[in-house]
Structure 1
Amino acid sequence: MPTPATDWTRNDWAAFADRLLAGSMAHASPGRGRITPPGAEGGYGRDVDGLEGFARTFLLAGFRIAGERGEGVDHLIDFFSQGIRTGVDPDAPDRWVRIDEHGQAKVEAASLALMLDLTREWIWDRLDAQTQRRVIDYLSPVVGDDTYPKTNWLWFRVVVQTFLRSVGGPWSQADIDADLALHDALVREGGWISDGVERAFDHYVGWALHLYPVLWSRMRGAAELAADRLPGYVANLDRFLQDAIALIGGDGSPLIQGRSLVYRFAAAAPFWVGVIAEVPSLSPGALRHAAARIVSHFAQHGAPDERDLLTLGWHGEWRQLAQSYSGTASPYWAAKGLLGLALPADHPVWAAPAEPLPIDRGDVLRAIAAPGWVVSGTAADGIVRVYNHGTDKARAGSLGGDSPLYARIGYSTATAPLLDERAWTDPLEHSVVLVDDDDQPTHRSALELIGARVLGDGTAWAASTWLAHTLSAKPTPRHGQGLAGDATVLARITTHSVVRGLWEARIIRVDPIEQGPEIDELTLRIGGWPVAGDRPFAQNVEHAARVAAGELTSIIRTIGDDSVEPLVETRLDASPLGAFAAVPYVEVDVDPGAWHTAFVELARTGEAVSDLGLPTIAATDGSGDLRLDVTWPDGIRTSSSVPASPR
Structure 2
Amino acid sequence: MSIPFELPSEDRASSPCTGWTRAHWEAVADGLLTAAWRWSTPGGALLDLPGRPSRSGVRSDGLEGFARTFLAAGFRVAGAGGDDPHNWLERYARGLASGTRSPGRDDTESWPLIRDHDVQGQPMVESASVALALRLTAPWLWKRLDAGVQDRVEEWLRDALRHVPAPNNWYLFPYTVAGFLESVGRGDAETAAVRRRALDLLEGWYRGDGWYADGDGRAFDHYNGWALHLYPVLDAHLAGDTGLLARYGGRLREHLDGFGLMFGADGAPLHFGRSLTYRFAASAAVGLGAVTGHTPLTPGASRRLVSGSLRHFLDRGALTGDGLLGLGWYGPNEAVLQSYSGPSSPYWASKAFVALLAPVGHPLWTATEEPAPVEEADRVLALPAPGLLVQATRGDGIVRLHNHGSDHVRPHEAEAAGADDPHYGRQAYSTRTGPTAPGNTADNHFSVEVAGRRSVRRRIHPLGAGHGDGWGWAASWHRPVFAGGPPMVPGLRVESVTVARGPYELRVHRVVGAPPGARVTHTGWATGPEEPLVSALHGLHGWDPGAGTVRAPQGTAYVPWASMPRLTGTAEGTSLHVSLAVLTGAPGPGPLAEAVTDVLADGTGAEVVWTDGGGRTRVSFDPVRVTHE
2:553 is the alignment partner of 1:563: no
Q: Are 2:196 and 1:177 equivalent residues in the alignment?
A: yes
Q: Which residue of 1 aligns with 2:175?
A: 158
Task: Specify the alignment match of 2:582 in structure 1.
Answer: 601
For each residue in 1:183-209, what CA deviation from the matched residue of structure 2 results, as whole angstroms up to 9, or x when unmatched? 111111111111111210100001111
Contact 1:469 1:490 in 2 (8 A): no
Question: What does residue range 371-386 of structure 1 map to in structure 2 within 5 Å?
Answer: 371-386=386-401
The amino acid that maps onto 1:405 is: H
Cα distance in 1 between the residues matched to 2:381 and 2:489? 36
Secondary structure at 1:132 match in 2: helix
2:416 to 399, 402, 405: 399
Among residues 466, 475, 481, which one is paired with 1:469 in the alignment? 481
**3-state DSSP of counterpart to 2:319:** coil
Question: Are the counterparts in 1 of residues 599 and 609 from structure 2 also a CA contact under 8 Å?
Answer: no
Pairing partner for 1:522 from 518, 523, 544: 518
Of residues 201, 210, 216 in structure 2, which corresponds to 1:197?
Answer: 216
Q: CA deviation at 1:597?
A: 1.2
| Partner of residue 638 from structure 1, selected from 598, 609, 616 | 616
1:495 partnered with 2:492: no
Query: Cα distance, 1:39 vs. partner?
Result: 1.3
Note closer, same or farther for the CA distance 1:169–1:86 as it changes in structure 2 (3 Å cut): farther
Structure 1, unmatched stretches of 5+, are 474-484, 538-548
Q: Deviations over 1:246-275 (max 9, x none)?
A: 011011100000000000000010011101
1-structure distance, mates of 2:195, 2:602: 51
Alignment counterpart, residue 329 of structure 1, candidates 316, 341, 344: 344
Distance of 1:455 and 1:619 partners within structure 2 = 22
**Alignment partners' CA distance in 2, 1:565 and 1:437:** 24
- Per the alignment, residue 480 of structure 1 pairs with none
Summarize deviations over 1:97-130 as a string: whole Å, max 9, x none: 1213721111100000111111011111111111
User: Which residue in 2 is equivalent to 1:64?
Assistant: 76
Q: Distance in 2 between matches of 1:369 and 1:105?
A: 36
Give 2:24's aligned residue: 12
Give how far 1:472 is off.
Answer: 2.2
Which of 430, 440, 449 does residue 444 from structure 2 map onto?
430
SS of equivalent residue, structure 1 residue 374: strand
Correspondence 1:240-251 to 2 at 5 A? 240-251=255-266
Q: Which amino acid aligns with 1:35?
A: L
Query: Would the aligned equivalents of 1:601 and 1:609 in 2 still touch at CA under 8 Å?
Result: no
| CA distance 1:524–1:68, change in 2 (3 Å) | same
In structure 1, how many angstroms separate the alpha carbons of the residues matched to 2:446 and 2:315?
35
Correspondence 1:314 to 2:346: no
Pairing partner for 2:40 from 25, 28, 35:
28
Equivalence map 1:255-274=2 (5 Å): 255-274=270-289
Distance across 1 between alignment mates of 2:464 and 2:33: 45
2:561 aligned partner: 580
Letter aligned with residue 449 of structure 1: P
* Structure 2 runs not aligned, ≥5 long: 1-9
Superposition deviation, residue 62 in structure 1: 0.8
What is the deviation of 1:93? Answer: 2.6
Shift of 1:629: 2.7
User: What is the CA distance between 1:621 and its match in structure 2?
Assistant: 6.7
My pick for the range that moved more, 636-645 or 181-190, is 636-645
Partner deviation per Cα, 1:529-561 (whole Å, 9 max, x = no partner): 1113xxxx3xxxxxxxxxxx4201111121255
Cα distance, 1:44–1:574 mapped onto 2, change above 3 Å? farther
Encode CA deviations 1:614-640: one digit per residue, 9 max, x unaligned: 535635579xxx664323464633234
Q: Which residue of 1 aligns with 2:306?
A: 291
Name the structure 2 match of 1:554. 535
Is the contact made by 2:230 and 2:285 (CA closer than 8 Å) also made in structure 1? yes
> Between the two proteins, what is the percent identity of the paired residues?
34
Residues 338-388 of structure 1 deviation map (CA, whole Å, 9 limit, x = unaligned):
211233223343212222111111112111112211111111111101111
Moved more, 40-49 or 281-290: 281-290
Local SS of the residue matching 2:61: helix
- 1:200 and 1:358, CA in 2 relative to 1: closer, same or farther beyond 3 A? same
What secondary structure sits across from 1:472 in the alignment?
coil
Q: Secondary structure at the match of 1:255?
A: coil
2:505 equivalent in structure 1: 504
Distance in structure 1 (CA, Å) of the matches to 2:572 and 2:598: 17
- The one-character-per-residue Cα deviations of 1:384-418 (angstroms, maximum 9, x if unpaired) are 01111111112468334431101211110010001
- Structure 1, residues 18-63: CA drift from partner, whole Å, max 9, x if none? 1111111111111111112111211211111100000000011111
Q: 1:619 to 1:276 in 2, by over 3 A?
A: farther
Deviation per CA, 1:589-645, whole angstroms, max 9, x where unpaired? Answer: 2253232211111111242452772535635579xxx66432346463323465543
Letter matched to residue 581 of structure 1: A
Specify the alignment match of 1:229 in structure 2: 244
Change (3 A) 1:149 1:390: same
Shift in alpha-carbon separation, 1:311–1:5, aligned structure 2, 3 A:
closer
Give the TM-score normalised by structure 1.
Answer: 0.88
Residues of 2 paired with 1:154 and 1:643: CA distance? 40
Choose which of 318, 341, 347 in structure 1 pairs with 2:362: 347
> CA separation in 1, counterparts of 2:496 and 2:356?
45
Please say if 1:138 is aligned against 2:156. Answer: yes
Look up the match of 2:5. none
Q: Contact 1:257–1:405 (CA<8 Å) still a contact in 2? A: yes
- Check 1:229–1:328 CA distance in 2 against 1; reply closer, same or farther (3 A cut): same
Matched residue type, 1:331 = P
Between Structure 1 and Structure 2, how many residues are aligned? 602
Q: Which amino acid aligns with 1:128?
A: D
Q: 1:44 to 1:633 in 2, by over 3 A?
A: farther
For 2:558, the aligned partner's letter is L
Tell me which residue corresponds to 2:428: 410
CA contact (8 A) 2:542 2:570 kept: no
Equivalent AA in structure 2 for residue 637 of structure 1: G
Structure 1 window deviating more from structure 2 (193-202 vs 90-99): it is 90-99
Distance 1:356 1:501 in 2: 20
Q: Which residue of 2 aligns with 1:454?
A: 467
Name the stretch that deviates more: 280-289 or 34-43.
280-289
For residues 552 and 41 of structure 1, do their structure 2 counterparts lie closer, same or farther at Cα, with a shift above 3 Å needed? same
1:433 is matched by which residue type in structure 2?
S
Query: How far, CA to CA, are the matches of 2:221 and 2:108 in structure 1?
Result: 38
Match of 2:4 in 1: none
1:305 to 309, 320, 330: 320
Q: Which residue of 1 aligns with 2:205?
A: 186
Q: C-alpha distance in 2, partners of 1:490/1:531? A: 35
- Please report the RMSD computed on the Cα atoms of aligned residues, expressed in angstroms: 2.4
Q: Which residue of 2 aligns with 1:476?
A: none
* 8 A Cα contact 1:385 1:413, kept in partner: yes
Q: 2:494, 2:509 within 8 Å by CA — same for their partners in 1?
A: yes
Q: Is contact 1:417–1:575 with CA below 8 Å preserved after alignment?
A: yes
Supply the distance in 2 between the matched residues of 1:642 and 1:114 (Cα, whole angstroms): 51
Contact map agreement 1:449 1:646 (CA 8 A) in 2: no
Moved more, 494-503 or 192-201: 494-503
Q: Is the 8 A contact 1:4 1:360 kept in 2?
A: no
What is the CA–CA distance in structure 2 between the aligned matches of 1:174 and 1:137, rounded to whole Å?
Answer: 17
Q: 1:642 to 1:247 in 2, by over 3 A?
A: farther
What TM-score do you get using the length of structure 2 for normalisation? Answer: 0.90
- Preserved CA contact (<8 Å) 1:471 1:488: no
